[in-house]
Amino acid sequence: MNFVNNRFWFFIISLLVISPGIVFLIIAPGLKPGIDFTGGSSMTLVFPETTQVTQKNLRDQLTLLNYSESTVQNMGDNSFFVRTKELNEEEKDKLVTGLAEKLTTDTNSENILQGFDLVSPVIARETILNAFWAVLAAAFGIFFYIWWAFRNVPSPFRYSFAAIAALIHDAIIVIGIFSILGETMNMEVNTMFLIALLTVIGYSVNDTIVVFDKIRENVLSYNNRTFTEVVNLSISETIGRSINTSFTLLITLIALLLFGGTTIREFLIVLLIGVIAGTYSSVAIASQILVTWEQKNIPIPFRKN
């Protein structure tokens, strides 16, 4: 397959995938921040098996107790994750006791409260700021490392630029899809989302480096070939490895998503999206940017010469 001559279609596919997420980020509230970013309280409530508690019942009782802004997530087996405004110790005990009295025959709140977390808005702002600096530091570190690692080939700067472009491509896809999920499925982003996003960045660069390293090797070995031919050959020689590695990882992630519980669901979804996007971008974005930079044009089908 001539990957290089089809780069116009690769860019179009990426644009079509990215566009819906960008639209949701613009017209909708954007990413739905979790407690780690907004501050507040969250608790895990587990009711006795003898008591049938539904998500609606729990939400109605929270409204009656003047916590109508709370969000409730059913985790199965009479277990619920409740997120509400910031509570002190007295308010927490009063709320849980009120729920226990209304929904169970057991008035001891300690029997249903399985976990409680409190995040102040100050800590939330620090989390956002630290996340920003972490992503920025990772991007700069990757950029200069690739520039140094490919110093023996012509224009090493373009390899760094192409890798960062692919990294941004993958991050935008993940963020865009989560903006859609936040609007349609009420899925929040939290610190686990940021950890997964940094993992995706690392995976994306790793997959890109595999292709770039083969390009560097072939550039030095095949002086009689054009850069376009070298890139196409390098992709052909590495695509099997990339797909097999990603497919194996996807099987593991899907198994964890199905049987790993809800606590790491967002983390796994980010990784699933990132692995697919990273495998695609190493072939269809990063490598094609190198060729486009070299030729200074994109072959557009059906265009008259």
Q: What's the order of all strands across the beta sheet hosting 71-76?
A: 71-76, 79-84, 40-46, 113-119
**Does the CA dihedral 249-254-255-257 come out positive or negative?**
positive
User: What pLDDT shows up at residue 263?
Assistant: 66
Q: How would you label 171-204 residue by residue, b for 16+ Cβ within 10 Å and e otherwise?
A: bbbbbbbbbbbbbeeebbbbbbbbbbbbebbebb
What is the share, in percent, of the chain residues with pLDDT greater than 90?
30
In this structure, what token pair is assigned to residue 95?
Answer: 């709320």
User: What is the per-residue pLDDT across 151-182, written as a single tens digit (0 to 9) for each?
Assistant: 888 888 999 999 999 999 999 999 999 999 88
User: What is the per-residue pLDDT across 20-57, written as a single tens digit (0 to 9) for each?
Assistant: 999 998 887 778 887 777 778 888 888 887 777 888 88
**pTM, two decimal places:** 0.78
What mean pLDDT comes out for the span 81-103?
A: 85
User: What is the per-residue pLDDT across 180-193, written as a single tens digit (0 to 9) for each?
Assistant: 988 888 788 877 88
Q: What is the DSSP letter of 262?
A: S
Residue bearing the bigger pLDDT, 1 or 160: 160
pLDDT at 305 over 60: no
User: What pLDDT shows up at residue 108?
Assistant: 58
Residue length of the chain = 305
Strands 188-189 and 32-33: parallel
Phi, psi dihedral angles at 29 (to 5 degrees): -60, -10
User: What is the per-residue pLDDT across 243-287, written as a single tens digit (0 to 9) for each?
Assistant: 998 999 999 999 988 887 666 788 899 999 999 999 999 999 999
User: What is the per-residue pLDDT across 104-159, written as a single tens digit (0 to 9) for each?
Assistant: 776 555 678 888 887 776 666 777 788 788 888 888 888 999 899 888 888 889 99
Q: What does the alpha-carbon distance between residue 38 and residue 33 come to, in Å, rounded to a whole number?
A: 6
User: What pLDDT shows up at residue 253?
Assistant: 92
pLDDT at 296 over 70: yes
User: What pLDDT shows up at residue 297?
Assistant: 75
pLDDT at 304 over 60: no
User: What pLDDT shows up at residue 122?
Assistant: 66
